[in-house]
Amino acid sequence: MANEAATTRSLATSLQGLSRLPAMRQLGVMIGLAASVALGVAVVLWSQTPTYSILYGNLSNKDAAQVVQALQKDDISYRIDRNTGAVMVPAEKVHAARLQLAGQGLPKGTAAGFELFGKNDSFGTSRFVENVRYQQSLEADLARSVMTLDSVESARVHVAIPRSPTFLRNHEKASASVLVKLYPGHTLDPGQVSAIVHLIASSVPNLQAERVTVVDQQGRLLTPSDPNSMMAITSNQFQYTQRVERGYVRRIENLLTPILGPGKVRAQVVADLDFTSTEQTRETYDPDQPALRSEQTMEETNTGAAGAMGVPGALSNMPPGAGAAPARVTSPAKAPGAKSTPSAPTSTVRRATRNYELDHTISHTRLPSGSVRRLSVAVLIDNQVGTDHNGKTVHKPLAPKELARITALVKDAVGFDPRRGDTVNVMSAAFQSPPVPQPLPVPPLWKQPWTWALGKQLLGGVAVLLLIFGVLRPLLRRLAEKGAALPVPVGAAPGGVPGGIAEDHLTLSGQPGAQRLAGSGGYEERLQAAKTMAAQDPKRVAQVVKTWVGDDG
């Protein structure tokens, strides 16, 4: 109580000293106090405000609107720089915000496409400028289409369209190149690359798919220079061989992992594939099933003339006479003196041509390339972990029977064929323990995000304390001392209270008779005035008396 009363009296004395100062100086003190309070509030607000860092800069209006909408949806505070238009977020949330926006595919980095047409067009625009705008718009729209793929973060398309020649024989072909920036951990498979190539080729007149080149951000050529070249064919064969080998490895590991445990088996397969392309044509006949397809028959009969033939007198050229059979022939009687007529010779020729169709089969066979000629399989199994009689951990290799059983499983999994010369080797050995991952280096304390926030708050608090105790308090004390040193006005008691009654003047100055109480009359007159005031307002007088008793105590 005594300390509080002393503080109250000290404050009252300071206020009394300040009240004696001139009006202009009092106004200056009030303005200084207001400015100090405002400065203290500004420092406190500055210390509580987080430090903002640039999230994305140089964004288009559409991308900036999408990013701001996503930040509002995720309840992340942001600011937009008035000078550069960059989107800023608290420093400790920059990486988290970028990851969240990347998961949503933002920012897309869209560029103006055919929207360029119709803007800033003038009557004097040359044909060259229009062609340049058309090509830029076409490239931007093609880049938009490529960026719709999930693995592509951004893309740029360059199209080279030659001028229309005067003579058709001098016509040059168009070409295009695509630069894609993929998201971390993403790749484009050959099917997606082929889709990009055909998309570009189908969008540009007179552009062939062979003249489209696709390159990623690491400078790797994703499209082969010549799909029919030996190098491209060899590369495709190598990729196919790797896929076949990985398929065999997955078979072995998926089969043995449930038995041995995860991480206890390693397998490698070397496949010797035959990429020779063979075609066979075979024609077979069935002689047991002939069929008559066509038949041609010809018969020819020739009849010779009666009587002697040949050159007269040449007996050797005359055919022999017809022989007579010794048979009794009953013939009609002939007239006496009649002669008999010999019969004419007749010859008959018969010819027949028959065509038979045999049953035959023509087969055209093309043997598939990439057939397996030989397999070499190597399987490594970790030793079994056990304990010896002393309780120590020991590694024991698998028993021969267990290895034989696993070898049989591996042979069945890969389709082992001894006629091809396949080999399978299963061995048990102790695996080395993987190295213990080292913890990431902890950044120093002064690089921690929360360090700057805490430093700002501490700096703000120190600034407020220095402002109060280093500026305001000494200034008020000095001004109070100067005011107390000023001469007391006439009729005022020490301390600035008239009539020698300090507390009752300050308390009763608004009551009737206060002027007589503070006047220069005698003791009786002031006593009568005090009695009159006590009768009119006993509560206020009681409060004054209570204050006197408290100060004296």
| Tens-place pLDDT, residues 453-503 | 677 777 777 777 777 777 777 776 776 666 656 555 444 444 444 444 444
pLDDT of 490 reads 43
Burial class from Cβ neighbours inside 10 Å (0-12, 13-18, 19+) for residue 139 reads buried
The alpha carbon dihedral of 36, 38, 40, 42 has a sign of negative
pLDDT of 118 reads 54
405 sits in which H/E element = helix 400-414
pLDDT of 410 reads 94
CA distance 138 to 130: 12
pLDDT of 491 reads 43
**90 forms bridges with which residues in the sheet?**
52
Residue in 239, 236, 264, 266 with CA at minimum distance from that of residue 250: 266
Greatest extent of the chain over all pairs of C-alpha atoms, in Å: 230
pLDDT of 504 reads 41
Q: Which residues of the chain have pLDDT under 70?
A: 1-22, 25-26, 46-50, 105, 108-125, 165-171, 225-228, 304-344, 445-450, 453, 476, 479-523, 548-553
CA distance 339 to 334: 9
pTM exceeds 0.95: no
231 sits in which H/E element = helix 230-260
pLDDT of 414 reads 92
pLDDT of 449 reads 64
